Amino acid sequence: MTSLERLFRLREHDTTVRREIVGGVTTFLTMAYIVVVNPKILEAAGIPFGPSMVATILTAAIGTLVMGVYARRPFAVAPYMGENAFVAFTVVGLLGHPWQSALGAVFLSGVLFTLLTLVRVRSWLANAIPESMKRSFAVGIGLFLAFIGLHTSGIVVLGSPGAPVHVGKLGDAPVLLGVFGFMAMAGLMIRRVTGAILIGILMTLVLGLALGAAPAPAGVVSLPPSLAPTFLALDVPGALTWAFFPVVLTLFVMAFVDTIGTLMGLAYRADLVDERGELPNIERPMLADSLATVGGSLLGTTTAGAYIESATGIEAGARTGLAAVVVAGLFLLSLFFAPLLSAIPPYAYGPALIVVGMLMLAPAARLPFDDLTELVPAFATIALMSFTYNLGIGMTAGFLIYPTTKLVAGRAREVPLGMWILAAMSAVFYAFYPY
């Protein structure tokens, strides 16, 4: 028995070193788009692309390595899609806070995550959130990301007379390339091609370069950009104000829900749950994502956690933390391809947001349409997350409306204590929200 087999208990999980490597490579290819998409989104908040890309890669590598070696689960960790959009477009873009303070809020939420994980409060609160609410969060985030992707690609534009949005100039080359990118990714996914999103980004980039719609990259391989502009640039005191309380609360709620839903979904796919339907030692992967969030904020990026794209590696055979170690190594290698990655234009990565948003709509099929006490808060959550351009508004509204509908129906006993606590936190959120 090799040291790898002993460390990761490969035989116990009926897997091999080869399967774990194949699973790790598959997971990386499926989620490698985050290397470009995350810093591109955060660039809208004023965070420099190069340093942000390095922070994204290092956060993913470190978080995934901790997940593999400490938690020993085949789950990859990286900055979350949704949380990055909230920071860039709501906290900085809409509310006008500096990105340094936003990173301070990410740091505080990460520290809070760590403390609550150590005392097992996170798992208790997770069990209190109804399934309908968890599904509505995923759907709302998906629609939010899809809208951002449509706008980034130029397919949808803002501010038209008589309507808040309208279709873009479909005859323009960047818009047509955005449409091509979406269809290319969709086609590759239909054909079950591994790494469809990343391949679609590269195909769209190459076509755009051939048509002269974007400048050619200065190179392919180079030393990583300096991390200095974002390293330890966070402003924690600036986030310790009443104005930032809603931001910290929202980041906490968003990442809390994302992590629980992702971990349990992946655990079921990998057959890692016990007879009670629970993931044994769930605090370990929770601690991995909370520490990644703290580390990411220090490096210069947003909330990190387990990625649902890990399911592709699991389907390829990954069952242990060895696959996560492989993913971490591949992320580190990607540090040296900055010139190629930074040349990717909006019409190439925008479709990736649309596709990811589309994939997040699946839970809508399992919403309880026959029970209005469940459907009303779920619908309000989805609608407000999408149409207020603020994920936090939708989530906290759902936490408030859910116990209210149960109370009106005379079914208050169905509301767990944890949901009442989350409702109270949401009420405080609205009391101090900077309207």
pLDDT digits (tens, 9 = 90+) for 194-244: 777 878 888 898 899 888 887 877 777 888 888 999 999 898 898 888 878
Residue 419 CA: distances (Å) to CA of 255, 393, 402, 423: 17, 17, 8, 6
pLDDT in tens, 411-431: 999 999 989 988 887 887 787
pLDDT in tens, 169-201: 888 999 999 999 999 989 998 998 877 787 888
Helix (H) / strand (E) containing 157: strand 156-158
Helix (H) / strand (E) containing 150: helix 131-152
Q: Among candidates 242, 243, 278, which has minimal Cα distance to 263?
A: 278
Residue 3 has pLDDT above 80, yes or no: no
Mean residue pLDDT of the chain comes to 84
Question: What is the SS3 assignment for 167?
Answer: strand
| Tokens of residue 253, six digits | 């709620």
Residue 402 has pLDDT above 80, yes or no: yes
The more confident residue out of 336 and 314 is: 336
Residue 264 has pLDDT above 90, yes or no: no
CA atoms within 13 A on the CB side of 354: 25
Taking residues 340-353, what's their average pLDDT? 79
Residue 279 has pLDDT above 80, yes or no: no
Q: At residue 227, what is the residue type?
A: L
Q: What percent of the chain is helix, strand and coil (3-state, nearest 5)?
A: 70, 5, 30
Q: Among candidates 35, 69, 76, 81, which has minimal Cα distance to 270?
A: 76
pLDDT given at position 261: 67
What Rg, from alpha-carbon coordinates, does the chain have? Answer: 21
pLDDT given at position 5: 74
Q: At residue 311, what is the residue type?
A: A
| Tokens of residue 293, six digits | 């969030």
CA distance 364 to 367: 5
Residue 27 CA: distances (Å) to CA of 33, 79, 259, 261, 417: 11, 15, 17, 18, 37
DSSP annotation of 362: G
| Number of neighbouring beta carbons within 10 Å of residue 321 | 30
Residue 325: band (very low, low, confident or very high) from pLDDT cuts 50, 70, 90:
very high
Taking residues 7-12, what's their average pLDDT? 78
The more confident residue out of 370 and 321 is: 370
CA distance 307 to 404: 32
Question: What is the SS3 assignment for 356?
Answer: helix
pLDDT given at position 433: 65
Q: At residue 28, what is the residue type?
A: F
Give the best-scoring range by mean pLDDT among 282-291, 338-347, 353-362: 282-291
The phi and psi torsions of 427 (rounded to 5 degrees) equal -60, -40
DSSP annotation of 287: H
Residue 82: band (very low, low, confident or very high) from pLDDT cuts 50, 70, 90:
confident
Taking residues 25-42, what's their average pLDDT? 83
CA atoms within 13 A on the CB side of 181: 34
CA distance 130 to 409: 17
Q: Any idea which of 156-160, 332-336, 373-377, 402-406 has the lowest mean pLDDT?
A: 156-160
| Number of neighbouring beta carbons within 10 Å of residue 280 | 11
pLDDT given at position 127: 73
Residue 84 Ramachandran class (φ > 0 left, ψ -120 to 50 alpha, else beta): alpha
pLDDT given at position 345: 83
Q: Is the dihedral of CA 300, 302, 303, 304 positive or negative?
A: negative
Residue 277 has pLDDT above 60, yes or no: no
Chain mean position to CA 253: 13
